[in-house]
Structure 1
Amino acid sequence: MKELFIKYKSVIKFILTFLLVYIILSILYKLYLQYSNGVKFYPDYVTHMVSKQVEALLNIIGYRAEVLPHPDEPSIKVIVNNRYLVRVIEGCNAFSVIILFISFILAFSGKARATLIYLILGSILIYIGNVLRIVVLTMGMYHYPKYESILHNVVFPIVIYGMVFFLWFFWVNRFSKLNKKNA
């Protein structure tokens, strides 16, 4: 048994680090959501900011967009040209995806400075990519409403998770300590 632990030490370390970081960040995020009362920023600050940025981008590119609190659920309605098209819920704010990204990078950490910079830049890139994803989804819903299911359930999850996978792949092959050991 001891030989197996020695042989798979790096795998075990990765799994334990990933799980520990993921659980801690998820608990902290859950506490944030629990104590976010939604009075000033409905339903929570991050989801509110994502919605406002989606609204701003849609207006910049020529759509007449507005976002309003949903009266029946903790979400934000995105309205384009007086048509309610999509709603932005807490799950749309990319925070859970960023937690997953951070957990993986820390489990495959490299030098401290490189890891920190990559975590910050990668998280920002995921956040921006997510806002753009919602903007494009809203535009798609405006022009092609019959493709709602495929756009929301297939295309756009592939986009966000594909981006995260690419960032992970790039990290492991360029900066992680594991790559240095195998070089």
Structure 2
Amino acid sequence: MKNLLLQYKPFLLFLGKFLLSYLVLTLLYQSYLSRFDAAKNEVDSFTQLVANQTQLILSWVDSHSYVAPNANEPSIKVIYHDKYVIRIIEGCNALSVIILFVAFLIAFTGKLKNTLLFIFFGSLFIHLLNIARIALLAIALYHFPNSEHILHGVVFPLVIYGIVFLLWVLWVNNYSYHATRFAKK
């Protein structure tokens, strides 16, 4: 048994750090969300920020685009070309994707400065990508309303998770201690 633990120690350390950091970050996020009352249709401030930034992007394309609170649920309506096309809910703000991204970087750690910089710029990149994703989804669904399942359920998640995966590969191969250890051999 001891030999197995020693043999799989790197994997077990990675798994332990990943699960612990993911759990802590998720609990912090849930604590943040608990400050908003879904029964009163309150939307958390980060989701509101995402909606406002999406509105800004859409306004560059169409002056008849805006966002509005949804009186029926905790979400924000996105109106594009004077038509209600999508709603932004808490799950659309990409914070859960960023938490996953950060937990992986913590688990596959590197030098502190590199780790913090990669977390900051990677999270910012994911956030900006998410804003673009929502804006493009609104435009696409305005023009192709029957394609919601494929666009929202397949194409856009594939893009955002694919890019997060590529960021992880970049991190592991260039900045993590794993990369420096194998570069020395």
| TM-score, scaled relative to structure 1 | 0.95
2:132 paired residue number = 132
Query: What aligned pairs does 1:145-156 form with structure 2 within 5 A after superposition?
Result: 145-156=145-156
Distance 1:112 1:80 in 2: 43
2:66/2:80 contact within 8 Å kept: yes
Query: What aligned pairs does 1:93-132 form with structure 2 within 5 A after superposition?
Result: 93-132=93-132
Secondary structure at the aligned position of 2:34 is classed as: helix
Secondary structure at the aligned position of 2:50 is classed as: helix
Distance 1:93 1:163 in 2: 16
2:73 paired with 1:73: yes
The residue type equivalent to 1:157 in the other structure is P
Secondary structure at the aligned position of 2:134 is classed as: helix
Secondary structure at the aligned position of 1:134 is classed as: helix
**Identical-residue share of aligned pairs (%):** 45
1:57 paired residue number = 57
2:74/2:89 contact within 8 Å kept: yes
Secondary structure at the aligned position of 1:77 is classed as: strand
Distance 1:63 1:7 in 2: 61
- For this pair of structures, how many residues does the alignment match? 181
Runs of 4+ in structure 1 over 3 Å off: none
Please tell me the root mean square deviation across aligned C-alpha atoms, in Å: 1.4
Secondary structure at the aligned position of 1:156 is classed as: helix
- Once the two structures are superposed, residues 11-63 of structure 1 have per-residue CA deviations (whole angstroms, 9 ceiling, x without a partner) of 0000000000000000000010001358xxx4011100000110111001234
Distance 2:65 2:52 in 1: 10
Query: What aligned pairs does 1:15-54 form with structure 2 within 5 A after superposition?
Result: 15-37=15-37, 42-54=42-54
| TM-score, scaled relative to structure 2 | 0.94
2:67/2:77 contact within 8 Å kept: yes
The residue type equivalent to 2:145 in the other structure is P
Secondary structure at the aligned position of 1:53 is classed as: helix
The residue type equivalent to 1:161 in the other structure is Y
Distance 1:91 1:33 in 2: 11
Unaligned runs of 5+ in 1: none
Unaligned runs of 5+ in 2: none
Secondary structure at the aligned position of 2:62 is classed as: coil
The residue type equivalent to 2:141 in the other structure is M
1:158 paired residue number = 158
